[in-house]
Amino acid sequence: MSSRVLGIDIRPGGNFSYIVMNSDGAITADGVANPDELIRVIKRYKPSLVAVDNIREILELGGRFLKRMSKLPSVPQVIQVTRLPDGSEVKMEDLVRKYLGINVGLLTPEETAKYTAELALRGIGSTVKLFENETKIIVKALISTRQGGQSRRRFERNIAIRVRQIVKNITESLNKANLDYDVFYHRDSEGVRSALIIVYADKSIVRRFVKPIKSMDVKVTLEQIISSSIKFLSPNSSYVEASPKSKTRLIVGVDPGIVTGLALMSLDGKVLALFSGRNMSRRRVLSLVYEYGTPIVVATDVSKPSDYVKKLSSMIGAVLYHPERDMQIVEKANIALKLSEKDNVKVKTPHERDALAAAYKAFINYVDKFNKIDEILNELPIQVNSDEVKELVVKGLPIRDALSRVLSRSINQECKTEVIVRNQQQECKCADEVKELKDYVKLLEEKISRLEDENIRLKDEVNRLYTLKYSPPDQSLASKVRLLESRIELETKRIKELNDILNNVKSIIAEALFNNNYAFAVRVNNTGELNQVISRGYLPIMRFQDIASLVDLSKGWSGIVITMDEAGSRAIRQLFKMGITAVPLPKVLALDVNDNIKVIDMNKLSEYVNELKSVLSEVDYDTLENLINEYKIGRKRIQ
């Protein structure tokens, strides 16, 4: 940027007289211009300073003029020459006489423009901070996808990819330049169509790494961020960051985005203020917060905090709180309704609602500790700032250590030893306070000692009760327990032996029954049970329809099967040909022991099998049926 100065003064009707002056006092250009033309003058001559006699002349032009200034490639500083560094304001005529040595009367707009430029070159006046040391980079799609028809989705994806790629390129350049920034994407019915990048550096620095772009589909613009309030600085002085205006500790809920929501809550859970605004930088957020106090917790309503929230908490050394899971809309709405009624605040936007819910969630996370601190402090004989103790606890210090640290600091502040020499004797003004505290400490130590003794007694009682509950009261009982355990072990072994004997007896009985023309039949439900029953010499009982699934016909298994239900003679004959004799239970039952065990009369079984063989030897029904079918087919062919 050049060392030129642009001096301006408003004329009747709203136009400006202007003069462009070099650092050596030479005039480069002068004339009269309306606000739009004045912007073109600044753009053409690129002055480093714009000098005015009253900043209201620029402010009265409205936000549009400042907006256009913010988009200039080089944004000049504005100097009000009539405001001195001590804050006092001096008439223009007096400044001209004092610093330029010219006796003047009422100045014309042309003369005022000329003299403001000369005074600014001499370093007279105060810098008016109209713009922050922050730059907005706006990436915006220029093509609409609303009329895309069937290809609309594809157009939206392409635009979103294009916007994200440009943002990626910009952020990579900012990272290489080690510049701090935040990124916000804006989504509408057409998807991601724009993005906002707030860079925490002057536009003149940002332009070294990021250039404006205007292509067929996307536009990239850079703007200096306009200050939310007017600030005056002495020439050549640097801007001092805002600081808290009170020591009241705050929980700050933040919902970041193109529109950022902000909620401020005291440590007793009272809502102090709600804000929401577009394009709010972290510095802007802090300037609002500092009006109410000192933030110690920054809270968000999502489980994965954004970079914006992380950086904000890091800037001020606050604890970052986030819930374990994202808060649901219903939960946030209920919290907002509850607090708006309790503290008489109006929640205007969803962003304020989300920020308020985040702050309240953080408060609930700490409220038990806060209440404990208040209980302890209420018993102390001196006043202690509870917010200081709570801040230390929030930052991870145990309550006891936090109290000790704040108490020590309070004593040092309230009882600074003021030594007064009186007749060679030294008196301490805070002796009474110190004695009172010592007495209180002694009282607390005695109370702690009593509690420790009580704690030991209770532990002994617990141990005694535990021993009484889980240990035998004497050795005789222990001996009885061991004796019973031995007997249980012997009985278990005996039961196993008896089961083995019982199985042997069953086998012997089965053999005896078989020799006496009787046999056991046992119900089976699966192949495993079938194999077990057959291996023990018993006859299997099953439903007729289960034979095919339980007996492996493909392996040529043969034997007798007792069926629980009757079956057709044809099906029985087919199985008989395959070696399986299906015998209905009612025809051979001798004794019904229970549902699963039956005694079979082997004589009846033998008679049934012989009868079945006799019938099959007389007529082969299958062969006969085949002959009949062939005869019918032949008849049809003849006809």
Of residues 249 and 231, the one with the higher pLDDT is 249
Residue 536 confidence (pLDDT): 80
Q: Which two tokens stand for residue 214?
A: 């205007």
Give this prediction's pTM.
0.60
Q: Does 423 score more than 50 pLDDT?
A: no
Write down all domains in the chain, each with its CATH number in brackets: 1-124 (3.30.420.10), 132-228 (3.30.70), 249-379 (3.30.420.140), 517-625 (no CATH)
**pLDDT of res. 422:** 40
Q: What is the mean pLDDT of residues 498-508?
A: 54
For residue 610, the model assigns a pLDDT of 84
Residue 535 in this model has a pLDDT that exceeds 80: yes
**Consecutive H or E run containing 232:** strand 218-233
Place of tokens 């019938």: 615
Which residue is listed with tokens 């009186």?
422
* Alpha carbons 74 and 80: distance in angstroms, whole number: 19
* For range 490-502, the mean pLDDT: 65
Q: What is the dihedral of CA 604, 605, 610, 614, to 10 degrees?
A: 90
pLDDT-based confidence at residue 508 (cuts at 50, 70, 90): very low
- Identify whether the C-beta of residue 199 lies closer than 8 Å to the C-beta of residue 206: yes
CA 113 distance to own-chain centroid: 57
Please give the average per-residue pLDDT across 372-398, as a whole number: 86
Cross-strand bridge partners of residue 520: 599
- In this prediction, residue 330 carries a pLDDT of 93
More confident residue, 6 or 473: 6
Beta-bridge partner residues of 187: 192
Q: Is the pLDDT score of 37 beyond 80?
A: yes
| Whether residue 308 has pLDDT greater than 80 | yes
Among 38-47, 254-263, 420-429, the range scoring the smallest mean pLDDT is 420-429
pLDDT(417) > 50: no
Rounded Cα distance between 293 and 300, Å, is 19
Write out the E strands in 243-303: 249-255, 259-266, 271-278, 294-299
Judged on CB neighbours under 10 Å (0-12, 13-18, 19+), 424 is exposed
Per-residue pLDDT at 46: 92
Yes or no: say if 617 and 576 are a contact pair by the CB < 8 Å rule. Answer: no
Q: pLDDT tens-digit profile of 334-343?
A: 999 999 999 8
Q: Is the pLDDT of residue 356 over 70?
A: yes
Which residues, in sequence order, are bridge partners of residue 218?
141
pLDDT of 639 > 80? The answer is no
pLDDT of residue 148: 54
pLDDT score of 302? 95
Q: Is it the case that residue 427 has pLDDT exceeding 90?
A: no
Would you call 109 exposed, middle or buried from its count of C-beta atoms within 10 A (0-12, 13-18, 19+)? middle
Q: What is the DSSP letter of 100?
A: I
E-assigned strands of 317-385? 319-321
Chain segment 82-122, per-residue pLDDT in tens:
998 888 899 999 999 999 999 888 899 999 999 999 999 99
pLDDT of 551 reads 78
CA distances from 450 to 288, 403, 460 (A): 50, 21, 16
Q: Which of 274, 292, 259, 280 is nearest to 335 (CA)?
A: 274
Q: CA-to-CA distance for 157 and 173, rounded, in angstroms?
A: 24
Whether residue 586 has pLDDT greater than 70:
yes
Tell me what the mean pLDDT of segment 456-469 comes to: 71
Give the largest Cα separation in the chain, rounded.
156
SS3 565: coil
Q: What is the mean pLDDT of residues 513-540?
A: 80
Q: Are 333 and 261 in contact (CB under 8 A)?
A: no
